[in-house]
């Protein structure tokens, strides 16, 4: 039996919105994503607060999330919707 389908595994990465670190403990990742940071997340961003005529910038935290995705692909030498072509 010759293998015709060679799916590619892709890892999709994303980060949650930047918020005050103290509020980031319970920030969830979007549906289907797995959180790979712990606690308050990574303190690598800034969030902004608008107060009347000024915009203030504060250091914040965000979580990193990943999702594994299988992209259907034919093995070398095969093609078409069912990977039957040779």
Q: What is the pLDDT of residues 66-82, one digit of tens each?
A: 999 898 899 988 888 88
Q: Domain range spanning residue 37? A: 8-85
Check: CB of residue 1 under 8 Å from CB of residue 30: no
**Within-domain flag for 3:** no
Number of domains forming the structure of the chain: 1
Percent of the chain with pLDDT over 90: 76
CA distances from 30 to 43, 51, 71, 75 (A): 19, 30, 20, 32
In a domain, 33, yes or no: yes
Residue 30 counted as domain residue: yes
Q: Which residue has the higher pLDDT, 85 or 10?
A: 10
């Amino acid at each position: 039996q010759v293998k015709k389908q060679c799916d590619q595994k892709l890892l999709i990465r994303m980060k949650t919105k930047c918020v005050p670190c103290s509020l980031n403990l319970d920030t969830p990742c979007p549906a289907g994503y797995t959180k790979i940071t712990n606690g308050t997340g990574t303190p690598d961003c800034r969030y902004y607060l608008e107060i009347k005529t000024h915009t203030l910038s504060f250091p914040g935290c965000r979580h990193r999330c990943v999702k594994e995705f299988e992209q259907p692909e034919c093995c070398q030498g095969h093609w078409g919707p069912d990977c039957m072509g040779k």
